[in-house]
Homo-oligomer: A and B are copies of this chain.
Amino acid sequence: MTRTVIESKTKTVTIGFDEPFCVIGERINPTGRKKLAAELELGDFSTVERDALEQVACGAMVLDINSGAVFSNKMAEDPRYADNNFVEPPLMRQLIERVSAVVDVPLCIDSSVPGALEAGLAAAEGRPLLNSVTGEEERMELVLPLVKKYNVPVVAISNDDTGISEDPDVRFAVAKKIVERAADFGIPAHDIVVDPLVMPIGAMATAGHQVFTLVRRLRDELGVNTTCGASNISFGLPHRHGVNAAFLPMAIAAGMTSAIMNPVRPVEMEAIRAANLLMNHDPNGTEWIKFSRVLEAVEGGASFAEASAAAAEASAGRGGRRRRRSA
């Protein structure tokens, strides 16, 4: 059974076929969050810290840390800030330090800049997940040596120098190529978490089918764990959360083992908790019953983050924290 082990200072999370679905919180990402980017430019990490706490309270098991900020004001004063190779490495280090100071969960170091990946690997405690390598030749030659050197698992995205193929067979072939190239570096398949790429169902009617089929093949033929940017599936549609909340259980039934997503959304998290129960990954329904109390509090008017935090605290008081560490 394939097991991808990720660690923080004291906690271990295993992505695996026989494990509860691994929710990787996507919120700490200044790409497309202008307000957050502006705060970071001013050295203000309060949103990052709040997002870290909220996501973990809501059920994120791993936090993605993306350093892709654009510092427009600094750029005007100092042209070096126009280069992400200059901006991201120190920012990644700071983000990891700030997040690690408030939560103790494994991190997913996310950048398109190799220097930021290495800075993150040096700064993170435990065994972080690296995000990401693709099938592009240059990217593989830059990232796979880092994966080997730091002995960490890596997200492998199924696009290559020809771009993102709409043909799922091509995307499978790209994933296979990455797994094989990684093997050349001495990296085992269980340390590769493949993202088969989720297309918007509104633009491509076969997008759901493609993912379900790809996930099953990746699992059966390559023996790898899988992840995805889950909310892509509903891009452009009304009532996106409803589409996401059906997509996630279907992907889990097909064998998907993790997703990079917003955990501060009760609808999607409810779908995942229920899917864990239905996959027999929630012994005695303990987690479902605990979660149903959070849903009750939400129905009573609490925000999902508040209700989740209160439940997490109550659980820690009953020894939940200790149980979690040993998980």
Which residues of A pack against B, CB within 8 Å?
Answer: 201-202, 205-209, 212, 233, 237-239, 242-243, 245-247, 249-250, 252-254, 270-271, 273-275, 277-280, 283-285, 288-289, 291-292, 295-296
Contact = CB atoms under 8 A, between A and B. Distances in A.
How many copies are assembled?
2
A246 B233 contact: no
A288 B246 CA distance: 12
A99 to B, nearest CB: 30
A246 B295 contact: no
Given A202-B285, A205-B280, A238-B292, A212 B253 contact: yes
Contacts of A288: 237-239, 243
A291 B237 CA distance: 12
Contacts of A254: 253
Nearest to A249: B246
Contacts of A284: 205
5 closest A-B pairs (Cβ-Cβ)? A208-B278, A246-B274, A238-B292, A250-B253, A246-B249
16 contacts: A201-B278, A201-B285, A205-B284, A208-B280, A212-B253, A233-B278, A238-B288, A239-B288, A242-B292, A243-B288, A245-B271, A246-B271, A246-B274, A247-B278, A249-B250, A250-B252
A277 B237 CA distance: 11
Contacts of A239: 270, 288, 291-292, 295
A278 B246 contact: yes
B250 A275 contact: yes
Nearest to A244: B274
A243 B289 CA distance: 11
A276 to B, nearest CB: 9
Given A207-B278, A208-B280, A239-B292, 15 more contacts: A202-B285, A208-B277, A237-B288, A237-B289, A238-B288, A239-B288, A242-B274, A242-B292, A243-B278, A245-B271, A247-B249, A249-B250, A250-B250, A253-B253, A253-B254
Contact of A209 (B238, B250, B271, B280): B280
A280 B206 contact: yes
B250 A208 contact: no
A254 B279 CA distance: 13
B292 A278 contact: no
A257 to B, nearest CB: 15
A279 B247 contact: no
Contacts of A270: 239, 242, 245-246
A27 B277 CA distance: 27
A202 B277 CA distance: 9
Contact of A237 (B206, B246, B247, B285): B285
A168 to B, nearest CB: 13
A207 to B, nearest CB: 8
Contacts of A253: 212, 249-250, 253-254
